[in-house]
Structure 1
Amino acid sequence: MARVIIDIPNRVDFRTSIDVRITDLNYAAHLANNAVLGLAHELRMKFLAEFDASENEFFGVGLIMTDAAIVYKSQGYYGDTLDAEISCEIVSSVGFELFYRLKNAESGKEVARIKTGMVCFDYKANKIAKLPEEFRDALERLS
């Protein structure tokens, strides 16, 4: 079976950190696979907050996640602080991809790479919406 490969863009649009909580562990006492996607969700919300936006209020539209991929690089444990980097790539007139790199803050060892596909959505009309120009402009200002 072919392995998933996530190539992280060279540009970093957002940096923050997040702690591994006790509820993020599995039966083997390390970071659980389902928790990694939950961490990505929290990080995405922090990234969107930089634009004074959220998944429900994204420059006049909403956001839905259309796909997700995770590549595990090493284990994370309770109490670890993870340094997180997010890169955003606009891939169409209606959406973008977010790339996340999680590293152990103490050792610098990469823990995981994540990619989520995001599409703009008009919940009132119940259909996909155009990517707001305001987001394109705001993202460009980050570079």
Structure 2
Amino acid sequence: MARIKIDMPEHYTFTTDLPIRISDINYGGHLSNDAVLSMVHEARVRFLENYHYTELDVEGAGIIMTDSAIVYKSEGFYGDEIQISVTVGDFNKYGCDLFYLMSNKKTAVEVAHAKTGIVFFDYDQRKVISVPEGFRAKMEKDA
């Protein structure tokens, strides 16, 4: 099977820190794969909040995650502080990708690269809609 590769951007528009909790540890004694996706979710919520958005209200539209990819770079352990840098890219008519660079804050060693695809959604009409122009403009300005 071919390995997944994520072309990570050089510039990130937002950074947040999260500790690795004991519930994030798997039977191997390191950060579990499901916890990485949960940490990415938390980073996404904080990223949106930084722009005064929520997952249900980005310029009046909601978002839905369409896909995710994670490439593990090194282990994370209980108590490590993880710095997650976030940015937006790869816009299309209905959505974009969010990129997450996860690093150990103390050592700067990369823990994971992640990407989630999102589309914008009208929850009242239950249908995919175009990217809100205000969102695209803010993200392209900060890029």
Q: Same fold (TM over 0.5)?
A: yes
Task: Give, in angstroms, the shift of residue 110 of structure 1.
Answer: 0.5
CA distance in structure 1 between the partners assigned to 2:90 and 2:132 by the alignment: 11
User: Percent identity between the aligned chains?
Assistant: 43
**Quick one: which amino acid aligns to residue 15 of structure 1?**
T
| Counterpart for residue 79 of structure 1 | 79
**Per the alignment, in what secondary structure is the counterpart of residue 6 of structure 1?**
coil
| Counterpart for residue 16 of structure 1 | 16
Task: Give, in angstroms, the shift of residue 90 of structure 1.
Answer: 4.0
Structure 2 residues without counterparts, runs of 5 or longer = none
| Counterpart for residue 49 of structure 2 | 49
| Counterpart for residue 29 of structure 1 | 29
Task: Give, in angstroms, the shift of residue 140 of structure 1.
Answer: 2.8
Q: TM-score, normalised by structure 1?
A: 0.96
**Quick one: which amino acid aligns to residue 101 of structure 2?**
R
| Counterpart for residue 115 of structure 2 | 115
**Per the alignment, in what secondary structure is the counterpart of residue 28 of structure 2?**
coil
Task: Give, in angstroms, the shift of residue 136 of structure 1.
Answer: 1.3
Q: TM-score, normalised by structure 2?
A: 0.96
| Counterpart for residue 61 of structure 1 | 61
CA distance in structure 2 between the partners assigned to 1:95 and 1:141 by the alignment: 17
Task: Give, in angstroms, the shift of residue 63 of structure 1.
Answer: 0.2
Structure 1 residues without counterparts, runs of 5 or longer = none
Q: CA RMSD in A?
A: 1.0
**Quick one: which amino acid aligns to residue 137 of structure 1?**
A
The alignment covers a number of residue pairs equal to: 143
| Counterpart for residue 137 of structure 2 | 137
